[in-house]
Amino acid sequence: MSVTGLLNSGWGLFLATAVNQTGKRILVITPGEEDAQKISTDTKFFLKTFFSDSIPDKKPIIAEQTDIIEELPGIIEPVMVLPAWDTLPFEDLSPGIESISQRIAILSDSLNKKHSRIIFTSINSFAQFTVSPDIHLAHSRNFEIFQHTDMEKFKENLVELGYKSVNRVEEKCEFTSRGGILDVFIPLYRNPVRIEFFGDEITDLREFDPVTQRSTQKIFQFSLIPAKEFLTTREMFKTCIEKIRSKQDSLGLDEQAADEIIEKFGITAPFEGIERWLPFMVEKTGTMLDYMESGTLIAVVEPEHVHENLKLFLEDAYFEYRKVLKMGIPVPEVEEMYLSGTELQNLLQEHSTLNLEEFIPEDPSGSETNIYRFKNRSIPSFTGRPKELFNIISEAVKRGEDILICCHGEDQIIDLENRFIAYENENILHLLDHSITHQHAGQNTGQITMLVGELSGGFSIPEIHLTVISAVEIFGEKRIRKQKQRKLSSESFSSLSDLKIGDYIVHFNHGIGRYLGIKLIQVGDVEKDFISLEYADGDKLYVPIDRLNLVQRYLSGEQHHPTLDKLGAKNWDKIKQKIKKSIRDMTQELLKLYAQRKLLKGHAYSQDIQWQREFEAGFEYVETDDQLLTIESVKKDMESESMMDRLICGDVGFGKTEVAMRAAFKAINDNKQVAILVPTTVLAHQHYQNFKKRFQPFPISVEMLSRFRKPKEQKAIIGKLKVGAIDLVIGTHRLLSKDIEFKDLGLLIIDEEHRFGVAQKEKIKQLRNQIDILMMTATPIPRTLNMSLMGIRDISIINTPPKDRLAIHTQIIKFDPKFIREVIMRELNRGGQVYFVHNRIQSIATVAEYLSNWVPEARTAVAHGQMDEKHLEKIMIDFMEKKFDVLLCTAIIESGLDIPNVNTILINRADKFGLAQLYQLRGRVGRDRYQAFAYLLVPDKRTLTTVAKRRLSAIQELNELGSGFRLATYDMDIRGTGNLLGREQHGHIKAVGFDLYCQLLEETVQELQGKPVEQEIEPNLNLPVNAFIPKNYINDINQRLLIYRKISTIKSTEDMSDLRTELTDCYGSIPDSINNLLSIMDIKRICISIKIESLDMQKDTLIMVFHSNARFQQDSFARYIARKSPKLVVVSAKKFMYRLGNLKDMALLNRITEILTEFESLKELSEIASEG
């Protein structure tokens, strides 16, 4: 049967109705992945809006114990999309963890729980064979609390199921174990599970947060399913090896290539690209349909397109298959990997199938059967035409139709209601006041309902008396930024996490040294861990764990190898004093400028008007939290009488331009002119195109002034600026020329001020006291620096990454002309463009010649920093305008460019680049909704240095929760500090490291602002107890270092309690040596509070030495000493001895804590007395 005539989200309504009325599960096959995503989103909306009562309640079932839920919250929803592997056929690269875990979760749910009601799949995804349901079922098991199972066998089973062993579980399909605790992230669930064993019994089950690593909820049971669509058992690997050797022999392929592959299988662990041998590992494969029950309804969206896309996909697969065979690699046949067109046709004929087609020509004889035609009316765009929107709504109301308006957020609903008010449409307002409820929308009541949701477009179906208008028609298309649910780990990279032996560190008192590891040292009769540091001349410093807070990672924002300081020398103190003086001078100047600027009266802009709201609603993305905070700050600045001088920091694509656009629009609404100053013609051109497009629906004049304008055009623009005929002008430093006059300039927006020359900066400095200034930079700065500068500089940071920034496929490839050609042609065939980075100007012409020979079809342009500036600008703009396919360039594209059509980058001799530079270069692609690729080209891997291999591996494995990402972004942030504070201060950062620099800066700012800055005492503790983290409790050295760092920074009893909970939760019962260490840190906290410099235990006597600033209430203190005598002996004004007797370990620590607490109470009495 065929259904035709529906438009936009109409198919979503049809499918939601079908699953509700038939009660059957539906498998929807679409021509492409984007179709599947779009129609599934529409279906979700209508299923929730009209049929929410029929959706099973997915709230966790509470077990008999009220604090335990039955099972973890799962990822499976009533509407799901089965993604295709996000790799090319037969590619030497494994699919991304998100796509593979989503596939395996849907397959598992379809066999067992059946939570999903409608599953969408593109034809590429459906055509891909997977393991048969029998194999999947045989390797899926349920576990529950108090069940008996051997922990070691459980771990072996996880490896066979494809789970990856790691030190810390953060991503799906990972596991780790610590003593009797095992963490595993199963694809079925939203969060990982923590399993606690006692012997061979599961004694506790908990869900935990992968960011904080803290348990969040006890659970009763969980299901363990494979982590991949195949298993990695020895038997399967053995079968695969036999088939590889057989195919190699039958085709006469090169033995060396086959031997290399067989060697990988000999390791019996998954490796990159293993998926292409799936049919060799299992006897039986299947399709998604095999996982669904009989009676499942199949819906095919645009059948002709589906079959055509399958044909094209198989052609690509055959091309890749032949390519791999040429390389001598034996892989399964295409027919073993993918469904053929004939097989698809047969499958569809065997099942109940619905064809969903937008248009089917009518049979003039009128004899057509099995076709249902909807009479669907399209909804036009109302962007910038509110009256037409109101007319459409009024006409639909007159026809007695329900009107459903879908907005992307509450802000759009409020905006729309304001429009109704502004245009005084009483009829609509009346209907809105009596609008129907969410669950009963569309019940032919002739009412208007506004809901928050996401729809691909509106439609009108007279047969069911329903008109749906989406945000796309009213506000323009708005794309949701695809963000991962989980946020970055709150653990600062400077916290010493992932510190490696040989890394540079900074000790506050001794300077720059080199980290040598953790060393367990016998001190008298007890053992303690120390951090071992190396200084100049091989001198060693052993830092007690309780003083680890004095140690910081050395970071300077570049590949800088500092000189080690000499222990005992005074040079380090001199360096700190010199830097402190320089910081003080800089800070005083900044404070003076900041105060002067706040006193200047400027134009206080009006509150937002309706046009402003309409303009903002036209933004094509949903704003990030960072963006909204920045927009709010900018508007607050503009609406105040003080002049604005704000800096916005954030990488290209993070949304700074949108903030600038809204500020410009606000200024123009108050009849002010706006100028945007950029350092290059290329950026001017880019901004001009973006602003022109965004402001197009409004009567606003936008112009550009740069060297690409002819003299006659420039003269005309200058004339119009003078009389106010131009509202917004974008230009290079030409805008600062003496002949430029504005009628009423209100706002100057400056992009990358640090890239202007001295003369231009001086001119900008003069303008600062006359108009509002908004500056933007693509180089982010760290939030720690921003906090240090609070009160002397207005800074907004936009740190939320753009969509899919981290979904870029990154692969290290040996330089190969054939491979380079294939990569470039693949990108060109999908309409994209390519960056080829070659960072040696001397040989770039030779590489250009090679590329023209290897890929004659591609139009290649060359760009590098030594070219004539005007010629370089023209090439860059021509590339932006798609006049070239490939840009062969040096690292000049590292920052500033935002070209969404470029989605493949090849970086030649990637081993010569730093990690932060590789990260930034890779970030030039992946800015659109298409899959992006980054290829790191290297010579033979055997010739690479260890450092280069480590760096390349880090960039390949970069993820938003990993240390590599934190390092790369942190390094880039520190580089940005130089741009913000100047070259001299950047030199100081190199001298002492970034963290210590920020500490000195913060102290200086507080001093100059008149805030008390008291140097905290660092007590020296010498107590005879074992105090260390045993290796059998936390085996991983980086995890131990991380916990040591947390222990050393405890500030309160709440911090202590929190850490104890974390240790028990993540690692099990706390050993005595750690309890001792935690008690010592509690003692240290009290020592700092009452200003004890040293605490030393000699035999049975505690010796306490107070700092000269220690103060106690005299009378109470004297009575206390008299009461405690003769145990308490006063040696001097600041030195006391307390005889404790023969106490050991925790008893000793508890007694010391009691004594210090008594002293603390005397200090508190002193504070109360002084306040009185």
Q: What is the CATH number of the domain that holds 819?
A: 3.40.50.300
pLDDT tier for residue 560 given thresholds of 50, 70 and 90: low
Distances in Å between the alpha carbon of 313 and those of 128, 306, 689, 933? 11, 10, 36, 19
Q: Is residue 794 part of a domain?
A: no
Least confident span in 353-367, 419-433, 520-534? 419-433
Q: Which two tokens stand for residue 1020?
A: 């020296």
Indicate if 98 and 28 belong to the same structural domain. yes
Domain boundary among 471, 495, 524: 471
Q: Which pTM does this prediction carry?
A: 0.75
Q: Is residue 351 part of a domain?
A: yes
Arithmetic mean of pLDDT over the chain: 84
Whether 757 contacts 555, CB under 8 Å: no
Pairing of strands 448-452, 353-357: unpaired
Q: Is residue 238 part of a domain?
A: no
Number of domains in the chain: 5
Most confident of 260-264, 546-550, 1145-1149: 1145-1149
Q: Which two tokens stand for residue 524?
A: 């008298």
Q: Which two tokens stand for residue 79?
A: 């509407």
Domain boundary among 417, 450, 471: 471
Q: What is the CATH number of the domain that holds 430?
A: 3.40.50
Q: What is the pLDDT of residue 1156?
A: 92
Indicate if 684 and 735 belong to the same structural domain. yes
- What is the rounded distance in angstroms from the CA atom of residue 652 to the CA atom of residue 105? 35
Indicate if 323 and 451 belong to the same structural domain. no
Q: For the segment 219-275, what is each residue's pLDDT rounded down to a tens digit? A: 999 999 999 887 777 888 888 889 988 988 888 877 887 888 888 887 766 777 888
Indicate if 811 and 892 belong to the same structural domain. yes
Q: Is residue 484 part of a domain?
A: no
Indicate if 364 and 420 belong to the same structural domain. no
Q: For the segment 1136-1145, what is each residue's pLDDT rounded down to a tens digit? A: 999 998 899 9
Indicate if 668 and 631 belong to the same structural domain. yes
CB-based burial label for 749 (10 Å; 0-12, 13-18, 19+): buried
Q: What is the DSSP letter of 216?
A: E
Indicate if 740 and 676 belong to the same structural domain. yes
Domain boundary among 445, 471, 497: 471
Q: Is residue 310 part of a domain?
A: yes
Indicate if 815 and 736 belong to the same structural domain. no
Q: Is residue 508 part of a domain?
A: no
Q: Is residue 59 part of a domain?
A: no
Indicate if 748 and 850 belong to the same structural domain. no
Q: Is residue 1013 part of a domain?
A: no
Q: What is the largest CA-CA distance in the chain?
A: 118
Indicate if 832 and 692 belong to the same structural domain. no
Q: At what angle do helices 426-433 and 410-422 cross, to 10 degrees?
A: 140
Indicate if 760 and 864 belong to the same structural domain. no
Whether 327 contacts 248, CB under 8 Å: no
Does 72 or 16 have the greater pLDDT score?
16
Does 154 or 626 have the greater pLDDT score?
154
Q: For the segment 476-510, what is each residue's pLDDT rounded down to a tens digit? A: 765 554 444 444 444 444 456 667 888 899 999 99
Most confident of 247-256, 318-327, 630-639, 1040-1049: 630-639
Q: What is the pLDDT of residue 1167?
A: 44
735 is in which domain, residue-wise? 605-639+653-777
| Cα three-residue angle 368-21-3, rounded to 5 degrees | 25
Whether 144 contacts 63, CB under 8 Å: no
Q: What are the b/e assignments for 600-615, b being 16+ CB within 10 Å? A: eebbebeebeebbbbb
- What is the rounded distance in angstroms from the CA atom of residue 335 to the CA atom of residue 327? 20
Indicate if 844 and 947 belong to the same structural domain. yes
